[in-house]
Structure 1
Amino acid sequence: MGKLKKILLGESENISSTDKEIYSEEETSEPLLQSLKDNDEIIQKEFSLSIDFHYSTLVVGKRDAIAYYFDTLISKDRLTEEIFEPLVAAEGSDTVFQTGNLEEFRKEYFASVPYKFAENYHQIFWKLLNGYAVIVIDGIEKALCINLGSIEKRSVSEPSTQTIIRGPKDSFTETMNTNISLIRRRIRNPNLCFEQYRVGQDTKTAVVVGYIKNITNEDLVQEVKSRIEKVNVVGLFDSGNIEEYLTDKSMTPFPLTYNTERPDNIAANLIEGKVAVLVDGSPFALSVPTVFTDFFISTEDYYQPFFMASFIRLIRYVSFMLSLLLPSLYVAISTYHHELIPTSLLISVQAQREGVPFPAVIEILLMELTFEVLREAGVRMPRAVGQTVSIVGALVIGQAAVEAGLVSSVLIIIVALTAIASFVSPIYNFSIATRILRFAFILMGALIGLYGVLLLVVIMVIHLTGLRSYGVPYLAPVAPLLLEDQKDVFVRMPVWDNITRPSYLKPKHTKKTTDQGNNTGPSQDKGNFS
């Protein structure tokens, strides 16, 4: 933890964003003085320029005291009920301070309130910035910190990017405690652990590592912790900021971490033996390690009958190939390999392209770029008009381009089918890889036809086989082929038949069930009540 502490305190030579070191809760500084006036001068000097910093003078027993707080971080109702009212009741009585025993005073007047003591100024500053009210009493070299944190937060709602037909409808929010509770509601296991780190020189953002200690491989957990300790950033605002620090250093368009806003998805990954990473302020949690097939699996697959789930999963694989290769195949065949097209279809396609001034490759690049612009415009514009702009824009521009003779009708069909297929992936950032590679395939198809497309496919497969996520081959369990893990890859076998965890994760316990009970599934001769 020493290296992490140095990073958090800004002691790295590569980071310097403020004119003084940022303190942390563990850092020691000058201890509090007995004089309330001297303590007040130091504390107010630190936050004198903040309009939301307030203090109230009090009388604790027969001693003067001051309560400090940020009104933007605490509940004012709790401030009145849990601090001011008990202190009014304590006025005039100084028996508990005969020996300066602050603990006895807390037990008598704040017995049921979350608290901590602060013995130096850094601890006071840290507590104030984390939603505590700090009470400093004259003659006492220790401050009482009462937790009154109340931050505005978004309520739990349905996922916005990973919709589902059948299954739980809740999603993560920007509040860490809420996200942890959503996971614990699903995994009532005392071995489920959440360890917290503070990352970011200025933001001190809470980063939580979650795992099940009697399932997850210890080496994997230690590797995740080690990478978090090495994170060296000024500010951390979302899990996307830390994602690149957690992935293996590889130049690849394919995502090496799995992100989701669905608690049931993270819970399922934890039970499999993976590690979850949650960032305070982010509704997206990360899961590592990640393999290629994870991006074709949806939690809804396990809420549907296995025949239906297997069919939908195969559609996802086909859609991936269509979104990646369909435009390049059109360019290659229409340019170099006319003999592969039936004569009647070839005549129809060439008739539509008659009068089009551009070759097929320029034609499809123009339409693909136009669709990418429309897609981004629809995402970034206000929600009320975003969908209208993207849909109407695509229809109007496509129809106008065909009527103007700039593109052919069949190309509009190709681009539309490719775009629809790219949305089939359950995880949005995986479709980004296909969008990028699609242009490379189009150019290769235009240069040397189907040979170029096939060559690039081979290069892509070689690249995928060389990727690793925390030492796990990216194409596992397909390459290397792990026969024991094939029950939940291209198709989903019945739940009662899929009772082992992925072997490539090297979990402590490979079986998901105990030896007790029946895991063979129901038989046809049972349940006959006639």
Structure 2
Amino acid sequence: MKNTKNLRAEYALYDQENVNDSVLKNLQEKVKNLKHSVILSSSELQRLLNDKKWTFMPIMMITERSDRVIQNIAGGKVVLILDGTPNAIIAPSVFFDFMTSMDDKYLPFGVSKFLKVLRYFGLFICLLLPGVYVAVTSYNPEVLRSELAFSVAGSRVGVPFPSFIEVLFLLVFMELLTEASIRLPRAVSGTATTVGGLILGTAATETALTSNIMVIIVSAVAIATFAIPINEMSFAIRIVRYVLLFFGTTAGITGLILSFLAFVLYLTNLESFGEPYLKLFVQRKKVETKGVKS
């Protein structure tokens, strides 16, 4: 293990045998080029190290768990620690790192794989379900079975708004409830959001502002959002959801599929300190052995 220190009391921890030299050099150069004399927290340091200011996908991970830090150091990654803060920054971090929970390491193999599949299922629900609802109800009702299409149409009888406004109305209020639960004291946050959600859903359906199916869809989307284990990825997916909803509104199923493919291509071209963002794992540097005969 090796550590380096600069004038801002920032420490870089890495395994000298497994670390990617190009990633380490890139990270050290960015730390040296920082022009801020005062850095208050690891979150601020993470923001300053990110040269892609307009990207919404996280390329570094902040954690306070020592087991995650040790696992990533052993995997060849670099961990930054800022003096006086309890959190550490892990770089590079790829997409699949944000979908993995450290609790998976302590569960049986079958249980951990089932939970991972469940998280990715929730990810697709969070991304696509609002756009699918708008696209199906407004443009492509023929993709549904006739019984389900009649049920959806019947539930929207009396709703004065198009499906896009209906979805956007409930999604925005769901975001407000989520933010309120973060800001409120922990003793009352759960009760306040639960009661607020029940009152909002009941009042919206009784006044015919939204349909009953829409309340079910938004509830499923909210639950699926919390299935993502890392908050940075959860925030990014919440933003992408509105982009896919917009294209699903303008072009139906075709626009939704094309926008989702564009999002996948964007992730394919994205890098985290030189590592492809959709890489399954960060490869370790091969250690050469000399004098070994087979």
**2:234 maps to 1:431:** yes
Q: Secondary structure at the match of 2:107?
A: coil
The structural deviation recorded for 1:238 is 1.0
Structure 2 letter corresponding to 1:386: S
Q: Deviations over 1:304-334 (max 9, x none)?
A: 1111111111111111111011000000001
Structure 2 letter corresponding to 1:338: P
The structural deviation recorded for 1:454 is 1.0
**2:225 maps to 1:422:** yes
- The answer to which structure, 1 or 2, has the higher relative contact order (CA under 8 A, 6+ apart) is 2
Match of 1:223 among 26, 46, 51: 26
Report the Cα distance in structure 2 between the residues aligned to 1:425 and 1:309, rounded to whole angstroms. Answer: 14
Contact 2:23–2:274 (CA under 8 A) maintained in structure 1: no
Structure 2 letter corresponding to 1:405: A
Equivalent residue runs for 1:152-191 within 5 Å: none
Q: 1:509 to 1:318 in 2, by over 3 A?
A: farther
Contact 1:247–1:469 (CA under 8 A) maintained in structure 2: no
**2:285 maps to 1:507:** yes
Structure 1 letter corresponding to 2:285: P
The structural deviation recorded for 1:225 is 1.6
Report the Cα distance in structure 2 between the residues aligned to 1:418 and 1:231, rounded to whole angstroms. Answer: 39
Q: Secondary structure at the match of 2:279?
A: coil
Equivalent residue runs for 1:510-521 within 5 Å: none
Structure 1 letter corresponding to 2:7: R
Structure 2 letter corresponding to 1:194: N
**2:216 maps to 1:413:** yes
Report the Cα distance in structure 2 between the residues aligned to 1:269 and 1:246, rounded to whole angstroms. Answer: 19
Q: Deviations over 1:72-102 (max 9, x none)?
A: xxxxxxxxxxxxxxxxxxxxxxxxxxxxxxx
Q: Which runs of 5+ in 2 are unaligned?
A: none
The structural deviation recorded for 1:220 is 2.5
Structure 1 letter corresponding to 2:260: V
Contact 1:247–1:470 (CA under 8 A) maintained in structure 2: no
**2:261 maps to 1:452:** no
Structure 1 letter corresponding to 2:79: A
Structural RMSD (CA): 1.9
What is the aligned partner in structure 1 of residue 104 from structure 2?
Answer: 301
Aligned length: 290
Report the Cα distance in structure 1 between the residues aligned to 2:253 and 2:262, rounded to whole angstroms. Answer: 14
Q: Deviations over 1:281-313 (max 9, x none)?
A: 333211111111111111111211111111111
Equivalent residue runs for 1:199-210 within 5 Å: 199=8, 206-210=9-13
What is the aligned partner in structure 1 of residue 138 from structure 2?
Answer: 335
Percent identity between the two aligned chains: 35
**2:1 maps to 1:198:** no
Give the TM-score taking structure 2 as reference length.
0.93
Report the Cα distance in structure 1 between the residues aligned to 2:22 and 2:146, rounded to whole angstroms. Answer: 60
Q: Which runs of 5+ in 1 are unaligned?
A: 1-191, 200-205, 478-484, 486-501, 516-530
Q: Deviations over 1:432-462 (max 9, x none)?
A: 1111111111111111101110111121111
Report the Cα distance in structure 2 between the residues aligned to 1:194 and 1:258, rounded to whole angstroms. Answer: 19
The structural deviation recorded for 1:508 is 4.4
Q: 1:298 to 1:386 in 2, by over 3 A?
A: same
The structural deviation recorded for 1:237 is 1.1
Equivalent residue runs for 1:311-326 within 5 Å: 311-326=114-129
Report the Cα distance in structure 1 between the residues aligned to 2:287 and 2:104, rounded to whole angstroms. Answer: 24
Q: Deviations over 1:378-405 (max 9, x none)?
A: 1012222222211111111111111111
Q: Deviations over 1:174-233 (max 9, x none)?
A: xxxxxxxxxxxxxxxxxx22322233xxxxxx2111111222133322222211111111
Q: Deviations over 1:393-443 (max 9, x none)?
A: 111111111111111110011001011111111111101111111111111
Report the Cα distance in structure 2 between the residues aligned to 1:363 and 1:400, rounded to whole angstroms. Answer: 14
**2:269 maps to 1:466:** yes
Report the Cα distance in structure 2 between the residues aligned to 1:378 and 1:366, rounded to whole angstroms. Answer: 19
Q: 1:248 to 1:234 in 2, by over 3 A?
A: closer
Q: Secondary structure at the match of 1:449?
A: helix
> Which has the larger Rg?
1
Contact 2:182–2:189 (CA under 8 A) maintained in structure 1: yes
Match of 1:285 among 85, 88, 101: 88
Equivalent residue runs for 1:39-438 within 5 Å: 192-199=1-8, 206-249=9-52, 251-438=54-241
Q: Secondary structure at the match of 1:276?
A: strand
Runs of 4+ in 1 over 6 A off after TM superposition: none
Contact 1:248–1:468 (CA under 8 A) maintained in structure 2: no
Q: Secondary structure at the match of 1:209?
A: strand
Q: Deviations over 1:85-125 (max 9, x none)?
A: xxxxxxxxxxxxxxxxxxxxxxxxxxxxxxxxxxxxxxxxx
Structure 1 letter corresponding to 2:58: P
